[in-house]
Structure 1
Amino acid sequence: MDFALPPELDAIRRRVREFVEDRLIPLEADRASYDEHENINPALLKTLRAEVKSAGLWAMQSKKYRGGAELPFIGMAACYEEMNRSIFGPVTFNSAAPDDGNMMVMEKVATDAQKQWWLQPVIDGTVQSSFAMTEPGGAGSDPTQTYTRAEKVGDRWRVTGRKWFITGAGESTHFILLARTSDDDRKGISAFLFHKDQPGWEIIRRIPIMGPEEHGGHCELSFDGLEIPEENVLMKPGDGLKMAQIRLGPARLTHCMRWTGMGRRALEIAQAHIETRKSFGMTLADRESVQTLMGEAALQLDISRLLTMRAAWKLDQGDRAKREVSMAKIVAADALHKAADTALQLLGAKGYSKDTPVEWMYRYARQARLVDGASEVHRMVLAQELRARGSDFFAWGVDG
């Protein structure tokens, strides 16, 4: 059983690390690098993205013939971890949510025509995309609770309803939308593609959140007669839940990849501080209580990485890795919060200030236990798998 990264993938990981270290991390201390929503300044982002493309490190989840690097999931795991050592990393490499998950699912299930008009511009980085699933009082961790409806009128589908917390919607051009098309429990939801300039929908508001935002924020949308032609149904009518599951598994895992990197960076910042900060005659790094905090945070991050890499390997073998992704999602979310909280505690007032990115990370980390399925839901999934599989739950190998 070999835990080493293949040399060709490790070489790419090292190049990502060098770019993050040399170009991105130094920018975090300059307030001019940020927009009004605490994300990277769009003009700066455009410059950096051009550099990433020139370096051949662009859109690692996408096919080479479409302009991506086409890495396997284990390669993505290693590189995404390195990217998110900077809070500017994922979006700079075009590997941030929700574009990342949208690109992967579109490559798997879209028609050639849909890939050409919808997918390719997202891979190129000329437009953003959103995944419109979550609803007020409805779909969230459970997408079957979709109340937004799409009714067939002639050769088009007319959409009415409401969505909220739609990441990136304020800046997105392309959207994937889940809507109910019948009352069938299994085949009653369909997936649609639409463009921001189509009439019949609007952004009600950009919802304020406690953490820093992705470009385009988290928005509430209203649909009042949006018409979508038949050719923009994704997969077939009634395949919306199937599409969502194809998308959500790998997309959840890419969160875990990125979170491990952010947690590592938080501990790096803390480590640099405790090595020089003296208190009552000795450095903090020499105090047993501090070593315990750092050791536990590092332990949890490494467990997170191992679970993430196992799930990535199983995806590369063609396995759905359902329980492995759920395990990684639970542990990675907790590990990120543990690392950010530990770093902030050890930095003291400096950590609570904006002199380092740790307070940014701390606020960001709290969402991890909620997004792409709350931790409680993933624990429920594991319990159901254990009940159904018995001792096979702990089997070695790949399910197929």
Structure 2
Amino acid sequence: MAIDFEIPEEAKKIRERVRQWVHDECIPAEKRLVDKESYKTVLAELRAKARAQGLWLPFVPKEYGGMGLGPLANALVQMELGQSHLGALSMNSQGPDDATILTLLAHGTEYQKEKFLKPLLNGEKRVCYSMTEKAAGADATGMRTVAVKDGNENYVLNGEKWFSSAATAADIAVVMARTDPDAPRHQQFSTFIVELPNPGYRIVRDIPTMAAESPLSHIMGGGHAEVEIKDLVVPADNLLGGEGRGFDMGQHRLAYGRLRHGMHNIAMAQRALDMAAEHVTSRETFGKALAERQAVQFMLAECASQLYISRLMLLHIAFKAEKGLDMRQENSIAKVYLAHMVHHVVDTAIQLHGALGYSRDTPLAAWYTHIRSQRLVDGPDEVHRWTVGRNVLKAFKATGTTAGAAGGDLL
């Protein structure tokens, strides 16, 4: 019996529609962005067209206004959307909103879905997720922000948050805080929905990073905010998922975020490799086409190999997700690999473009400054490698082989 790598016909059609959408609409629209007003106009136009074509919220069930795609079809779509920084935004599929939408779908009360989820689904509001803190870093259980119940009506939150992505563009914040310091370690935290602006949730600044910025960066949700939380009063009705569920919901949310980053990394790497191939086929050096040089071909070959491995990784994870299988080990492996892959491919594309690649006349230089974050966000490389390594040892101790932690179920 042969292994079937055939993509269902419907998923192929959707992928092709999205691919055309990105190339015909999103990439050309990038050149029209110059300020806040042009961004609002361009995005509104794109979203109106996308919704009219049924290209809206690919990962959301149809009964909530989405396309209702499963993990495989959504992965194929996201691997196209990431070719443009307007791709996901045009279909209301951008991070960090997407993962929080999934959390609200799974854990929100009817009141929360009506008040907070509905405007997110309609593209009327943006949401950010405030979990990370300076004091805790990659260890979410080390956070110091606390929530104390004030009678039965409210919680009062105090603390600080660090690197709350898209907070300056958000209308809603989802905030994690410690509610029971005496509970088991992973049951001490709860999640709260906060309407913004709010005097108790003060954005101190968008933290300067090495990423190339433009006047539109923060407006589009590209900033990472430092936040002071002081006497922030949150109605008890805004507690999401119940007390003690914050950590578990956060990990589920981050799991999707890691996959989405990986999907978009593949899309960006593919566009970068296409740009490199186009450049070397049109350029001559010392009387010979650049594309004919073996060193150049080797560079392209390495990029193609890494993209091939990356696609197989994500398709296998999508398969496991479709079947409801445990994919945490594969997710961590892929998260690290894809972050390094996109860095290598974009770097190679810059090298093959020469000084043009180093300039800002192509998007490559800006991409290069942004993708360094991929080795840090949603868990740094070292934490994922630590987890993967422990699982390798666990598998060996349990079965006498490491295959179960190294893709052994593929065969």
**TM-score for both structures, normalised by structure 2:** 0.92
* Aligned equivalents of 1:151, 1:282: Cα separation in 2: 71
Aligned counterpart in structure 2 of residue 289 of structure 1, from 286, 295, 300: 295
CA contact (8 A) 1:190 1:237 kept: yes
Counterpart of 1:10, as a letter, is K
Q: CA deviation at 1:259?
A: 0.8
Q: Quick check: 194-203 or 124-133, which moved more?
A: 194-203
Contact 2:330 2:407 in 1 (8 A): no
Maintained 8 Å contact 2:332/2:384: yes
Amino acid at match of 2:6: A
| Match status 1:252 vs 2:265 | no
**Residue pairs, 1:263-302, within 5 angstroms:** 263-302=269-308
How large is the RMSD of aligned CA atoms in angstroms?
1.7
Supply the AA of the counterpart residue of 1:142: D
Superposition deviation, residue 394 in structure 1: 4.1
Partner residue, 1:232: 238
Q: Choose which of 154, 165, 169 in structure 1 pairs with 2:151.
A: 154
Question: 1:33 is paired with a residue of what secondary structure?
Answer: coil
Partners of 1:165 and 1:207 within 8 A in 2: yes
SS in structure 1 at match of 2:260: helix
Kindly state the Cα deviation for residue 397 of structure 1 after the two structures are TM-superposed.
4.8
Per the TM alignment, residue 319 of structure 1 is displaced from its structure 2 partner at its CA by 2.3
Q: Distance in 1 between matches of 2:151 and 2:335?
A: 43
Provide the rounded CA distance (Å) in 1 between the counterparts of 2:85 and 2:295: 29
Unaligned runs of 5+ in 2: none
Q: Which position in structure 1 is the counterpart of 2:54?
A: 56
Structure 1 position 312, deviation (Å): 1.6
What is the distance in 1 between the residues matched to 2:48 and 2:334?
Answer: 33
Query: Once the two structures are aligned, what percentage of the paired residues are identical?
Result: 36
What corresponds to 1:114 in structure 2? 112
SS in structure 2 at match of 1:26: helix
Cα distance in 2 between the residues matched to 1:305 and 1:49? 28
Paired amino acid for 2:251: Q
Match for residue 179 of structure 2?
A: 181
CA contact (8 A) 1:190 1:239 kept: yes
**Matching residue within 16, 20, 34 for 2:22:** 20
Choose the corresponding residue for 2:325, options 319, 326, 339: 319
Query: How much has 1:187 moved relative to structure 2?
Result: 1.3
Sort the Cα spacing of 1:320 and 1:176 in 2 relative to 1 into closer, same or farther, 3 A: farther
Which residue of structure 1 aligns with residue 191 of structure 2? 191
Question: Match for residue 362 of structure 2?
Answer: 356
> Is 2:203 the counterpart of 1:203?
yes
User: What pairs with 1:311-390 in structure 2 (closer than 5 Å)?
Assistant: 311-390=317-396
**Equivalent residue runs for 1:60-71 within 5 Å:** 60-71=58-69
CA offsets 1:81-111 (integer angstroms, 9 cap, x no match)? 1111223211112111101111112211222
Counterpart residue type for residue 205 of structure 1: R
Do the aligned partners of 1:146 and 1:189 also contact (CA within 8 Å) in 2? no
CA shift for structure 1 position 34: 4.0
Whether the 8 Å CA contact 1:87–1:262 is kept in 2: the answer is: no
Q: CA offsets per residue over residues 330-357 of structure 1, 9 Å max, x none? A: 1111111011101111101111112111
Distance 2:277 2:165 in 1: 33
**C-alpha separation between the residues in 2 aligned to 1:5 and 1:282?**
41
Deviations 1:61-85 (A, max 9, x none): 1111211111111111111111112
* Structure-2 change in CA distance of 1:395 and 1:81 (3 Å): closer
In 2, the alpha carbon distance for the partners of 1:172 and 1:251 equals 17
* Contact kept? 2:135, 2:143, Cα under 8 Å: no
The CA deviation string for residues 363-386 of structure 1, in whole angstroms up to 9 with x for no partner, is 121111111111111111101111
Deviation at 1:317, TM superposition (A): 1.3
Superposed, 1:35-54 pairs within 5 Å as: 35=35, 41-54=39-52
- Cα distance between partner residues in 1 of 2:35 and 2:372: 21
Q: Which moved more, 1:355-364 or 1:389-398?
A: 389-398
Verify the 8 A CA contact 1:303 1:331 in the aligned structure 2.
no
Q: Which SS does the other structure have where 1:162 is aligned?
A: strand
**Residues in 2 aligned to 1:275 and 1:22: alpha-carbon distance in whole angstroms:** 23
Number of positions where the alignment pairs a residue of Structure 1 with one of Structure 2: 393
Opposite residue 152 of structure 1, the aligned amino acid is: K
SS at match of 2:187: coil
Q: How far apart are 1:35 and its partner, in Å?
A: 3.8
Shift of 1:393: 2.2
Do the aligned partners of 1:99 and 1:130 also contact (CA within 8 Å) in 2? yes
CA distance in 2, matches of 1:168, 1:40: 19
Structure 1 residues 123-169: Cα deviation after superposition (integer angstroms, max 9, x where no partner): 1110000010111222x322111111111111211000110111111
Residue 395 of structure 1 deviates from its aligned partner by: 6.2
Conserved 8 A contact 1:253-1:312 = no
Which one-letter code corresponds to 1:54 in the other structure? A
Q: The residue matched to 1:59 in structure 2 has which SS?
A: coil
Could you list the runs of 4 or more consecutive aligned residues of structure 1 that deviate by over 3 angstroms after TM superposition? 394-398
Among 89, 92, 104, the alignment partner of 1:91 is 89
